[in-house]
Copies of this chain bind each other. A is one copy, B any other.
Amino acid sequence: MANPSILILAGDGIGPEVMAEVKKIITWYGEKRDLVFDVSEDLVGGAAYDVHGVPLADETMAKAQQVDAVMLGAVGGPKYDVLDFSVKPERGLLRLRKEMDLFANLRPAQCFDALADFSSLKKDVVAGLDIMIVRELTSGVYFGQPRGITTLENGSRVGINTQHYTTEEIRRVARSAFELAKRRGNKVCSMEKANVMESGILWREEVQWVHDNEYPEVELSHMFADNGAMQLVRWPKQFDVILTDNLFGDILSDCAAMLTGSLGMLPSASLGAPMANGRPKAMYEPVHGSAPDIAGQGKANPIACILSFAMALRYSFDQGDEASRLEKAVEKVLADGVRTADLMGPDGGTPVSTAEMGAKIIAAL
């Protein structure tokens, strides 16, 4: 059988730096655990624009469709702010999500014991926090038609986007959330604005349908998204799995990420339908952005990207034990007090570099 394949798209800013540490870990797995991956690399975002004039070349898109998993670093940077909407770095990312049909975006918001003090929230509110946000990723207002800006005769303009969901789009991502809940706390809270938006009513009804017909044993609740934002801030531990749409998921998952105080630590997985080999189409990426202000200085925290690879081990390569081993290695290094610059407390200390953090994690493996 061929080795499992990974396409690395390191992207912009700190993307290449944090991905360098993941590459070392991939190599380690081949050498020490006989888990050999076929790794290829390509460009995305501003890096692709610089070479191809588009944020994702067609050949890269084709490659992404063929591999078992894509590892993405980060896209964007001030240099590209002036570009037209259609070729901005983000479009590369959105094209990957859409054309690979990665409808279920898994964003764990987890507070690491060693880092509970870093949160702006009180320690008892976040210590031990472990929630999973399942965000619909290929539909909604991100992709709905019609969209665009029209100029009227009098010179005034109209900006339009369309929130658009179908029964099938809602049901399939709901199934992902219920499946995850079964292996966790067995609770799903679905969030929308059914009190204001008809698309939210449909969302609520279809999620309820999947629950009643396929997962009656999982506890399901519904919450308006504004209340969801409040409850995340008030007492996030009330949640297990949160299921929501593309736009609410964008905002609520960032809010949840910040609760943990460890943005540089949070991974994500974007999963689609199973391929011929049974593996889901998949892309893994850190939740943090390209952080142009610290790019190229060896300061970035590679943990979010490394934990994204742990998610790849779990969801793409059926290596749940190895994923847990890697996650434990990260926890150990943190418990030992090893800190990149973003994790330095007010009492100082000397931060380690991106590469040093990577090396410590490999040592702990």
Contact = CB atoms under 8 A, between A and B. Distances in A.
Interface of A: 85, 88, 90, 94, 120-122, 125, 141-142, 144, 147-149, 155-168, 193, 195-203, 206, 225-227, 229-230, 232-235, 247-248, 250-255, 257-259, 263
A232 B302 CA distance: 25
Contacts of A254: 226-227, 229-230
Contacts of A227: 254
A47 B113 CA distance: 49
Given A159-B163, A160-B162, A162-B162, 8 more contacts: A85-B201, A121-B122, A142-B196, A144-B160, A159-B203, A193-B247, A230-B257, A233-B255
A86 to B, nearest CB: 11
Nearest to A155: B167
Given A158-B166, A234-B120, A225 B198 contact: no
Contacts of A257: 230
A193 B250 contact: yes
B141 A197 contact: yes
A144 B163 CA distance: 10
Contacts of A206: 157
A166 B149 CA distance: 9
A147 B197 CA distance: 8
Of A141, A142, A168, the most chain B CB neighbours within 10 A belong to A141
A165 B156 contact: no
A90 B199 CA distance: 16
Nearest to A147: B198
A255 to B, nearest CB: 4
A4 B244 CA distance: 46
A161 B258 contact: no
A94 B167 contact: no
A240 B259 CA distance: 22
A156 B172 CA distance: 13
A122 B259 CA distance: 12
Nearest to A191: B251
A118 to B, nearest CB: 10
A47 B199 CA distance: 27
Contacts of A197: 141-142, 147, 159, 161
A168 B131 CA distance: 41
